[in-house]
Structure formats: structure tokens, C-alpha cells
Amino acid sequence: MQTREIIKTAIEEIQANNGRTGAITDGSQIVRDLGFTSLDVAELVAVLEMELEVDPFSNGVSLMDVRTYGEFCAVYENARLKQA
Amino acid sequence: MNERVVIVSGGSRGLGQGIVEALIARGDRVATFSRTRTAFVDGLIERCPERFYWAAVDASDGAQLKAFVTDVYRRFGGIHGLVNNAGVSADQLIAMTTDEEIDRLLDVNLKSVLRLTRDVSRVMMRQKHGSIVTISSIIGTRGFKGAAVYAATKAALDGMTRSVARELGPKAIRVNSIAPGFLETDMTAGIPEAQRAQILRRTPLGRFGGVAEVAALVLFLLGDEAAFITGQTITADGGLTC
């Protein structure tokens, strides 16, 4: 599965656990549009660390600079490229 | 029996050994680490190879801690409990305490607990359940001569416990600490006789605690019997601080 699909699946699982639904596009803001709390974002990062075996936010990337699904994907794609 | 996976830091001797023994006796799968392997560890590896895992880890090394958590998760498929037990003590007046001693106690007693709790909480968040029990001390709440740095680290652990409980409660993860009084362990074996007598005089139950008594409290807080308890520090000190 590609990075973007893994991230989308992880977001959808957390949405479902919280009883939420909503279309995910590159411009979707994780907090404002998808209804994530700060704890949900932390869970997303934890899930992605296990799925993708990388945590860009422990290696210099600021979570404050990443707001949308598209930006999340770009950060993880870059981190995986650096790791490869 | 509900078989859990529990990480116990510093489970090769002293209180940690007692906690590991109690968890194994309950039927849990237990992972522990310490800097050096002991005869107790050798015995469990031989007796319970499927349910016991030990690794050599320096608690002050964050990378080693993270690798241990990942290893345990992959080996057992989950982490249901964490017991932050590893710690070191020092008997030194603050005026005579070196920078190296301050750093050593902060590294092992505080920083390693924060890192281990962070790494395990990430697994527990995904599972949507878990229980974290941290061993602090009555020395974190009452003053004891010669224990300034140790007291600072233990008080900090109680503060961490309350904040992390608030953070992780919505994910059904409970976080508590235990503040033991003086126990019959290697750590208290060096207490001078006069000071020991004074402690006993001030303890309503008139004795030092047993490792098994604190281990029983750890098991209670890890289990469903304590399902509505989080963010608390439970004191077990024979009444010394009452």
C-alpha cells in the first residue's frame, strides 16, 4: 500500500472510532475539517509510526506546520525517501 | 485467565523482581530490562521462555528504550501494562551533590520514565486501552535529609502521573503511581541502624514493608479491579506519613 493510502486509512479508522465521517481531500484540514483533537493527532502519528516505521515529528518537522491531509502525506513521503 | 503483556522496567532485582514474579504467577507475559542479567533473570528465561522476555538496556539511553518497546510489541503483539519501576537512589546532602550525580538520577529516575511512558503510550493509544503504574516514593511528598535529588525525581513522577492521566483518559488508558515507604530491599539495606530504628518508631505498623505487598498493589492498579482509578498516587508505607 502506498504512503498516501496508509495515511488515509489511518485517518478513516480514527474518524470511525470517534463516530465521524467526511470526505478526505488534499486540502482537508485534519483538525478543522476532519474533527481531530490533539490526542487524535497524536494517535495518528503513533499509528503511522508503526505502519510506516518513521516518525518525521521526532526528527525536526514541526507538527504546527502540517495542517492538511496533503501536507501530512508530503511530510511522510519525504521522511520515507530520506529513510530509504 | 486474561493473559496480558506487561513491561516492567528494572525487573531483575529488588522491587522489580517481586513485581515480575507476581505477574508471572498471575499468568501474564512479562518483558523487563536492566543493565545486567541476574540469576533471577536466568531462572525465568529457563522456566518461562514463552512468557518472559529480558533484554540488556541502559535506561538512560532513549534509543535503547524505544527499540525495546518496539521489540516487545512485535514479539507479543501488544502492550497492556507498563510498570515504571527502574530507579536509583543516592544519599547525599544537596550541598555536596555533584553535577554527575544530579544528571545520573534525573536520567534514570525521571527522563527514562518520561521516554518509556511516551513510547508505550503510543502503542496503548492504538489499542485503546492500557494501564501505566509508576513507582514513586513517599520521599517525593515528605522531606528526608540526604534525598533532595531523589525526592525531586519522585515528586516529578507523581506530577507526570496526573498530567498523563488527563491526556490519555479519553483513550481508556489509566495512569497511576505508587508511593511506597521503606521496604526490605537492597536499596534500604544500607540505612544506618539508628535511622532505621527512628523510621520504625514513626511507622504505626512498626515494620518495613515487603516487596510482595507493593507488588500486590501494582497488580491491583494494572487490573480491571481498578478500572475507575486514574491519576492517583497510592501510598503504601505502613502509616509513616499519616
pLDDT tens-place string over residues B168-181: 999 999 999 999 99
Does residue B197 sit within a domain?
no
Structural domain count, chain B: 1
Q: Is the pLDDT of residue B3 over 50?
A: yes
Say if residues B150 and B106 touch (Cβ distance below 8 Å): no
- Picking from A37, A39, A47, the nearest residue to B126 by CB comes out as A47
| Contact status, residue B236 vs residue B181, Cβ threshold 8 Å | yes
Asked whether residue B93 is assigned to any structural domain, the reply reads yes
- Mean pLDDT of all residues in B107-131: 96
What CATH number does residue B72 fall under? Answer: 3.40.50.720
Find the radius of gyration of the CA atoms of chain A.
12
User: What's the whole-number mean pLDDT along residues B13-38?
Assistant: 96
Q: Which of B53, B68, B73, B150 is catalytic?
A: B150
CATH assignment of A3-83, among 1.10.1200.10, 2.40.33.10, 3.40.50.720, 3.40.190.10 = 1.10.1200.10
Residue located via cell numbers 502525506: A73
Contact between B28 and B6 (Cβ < 8 Å): yes
Q: What is the largest CA-CA distance in chain A?
A: 36
Determine whether the interchain pair B125/A42 forms a contact, defined as Cβ–Cβ distance below 8 Å. yes
The answer to whether residue B150 is catalytic is yes
**pLDDT for residue B105:** 96
Residue B61 is assigned to a structural domain of this protein: yes
For an interface test with B, the pick among A43, A47, A51 (most B C-beta atoms closer than 10 Å) comes out as A43
Question: Does the pLDDT at position A76 exceed 70?
Answer: yes
Let me know if residue B200 belongs to a domain: no
With cut-offs at 50, 70 and 90, classify the pLDDT of residue B1.
Answer: very low
For B187-207, how does the pLDDT look when each residue is reduced to its tens digit (9 = 90+)?
788 888 998 999 999 999 999
CA distance B186 to B46: 25
Residue B216 has pLDDT above 60, yes or no: yes
Buried b (16+ CB within 10 A) or exposed e, B138-171: bbbeeeeebbbbbbbbbbbbbebbeebbeebeeb
At residue A1, does pLDDT exceed 80? no
CA distance A17 to chain B (A): 10
Give yes or no for a contact between B128 and A48, defined as CB atoms under 8 angstroms apart: no
Residue B193, domain member (yes or no): no
Q: Do A46 and B125 touch (CB under 8 A)?
A: yes
What gap in Å lies between CA B122 and CA B130, rounded to an integer?
11
B128 contacts in chain A (CB < 8 Å) = 17
**Among B18, B116, B22, CA closest to B67:** B116
pLDDT band for A83, please (50, 70, 90 cuts).
confident
Which of the four pLDDT bands, split at 50, 70 and 90, describes residue B2? low
Q: Is residue B14 part of a domain?
A: yes
Q: Are B82 and B6 contacting, i.e. CB atoms less than 8 angstroms apart?
A: yes
Query: What is the residue range of B115's domain?
Result: 5-183+210-236
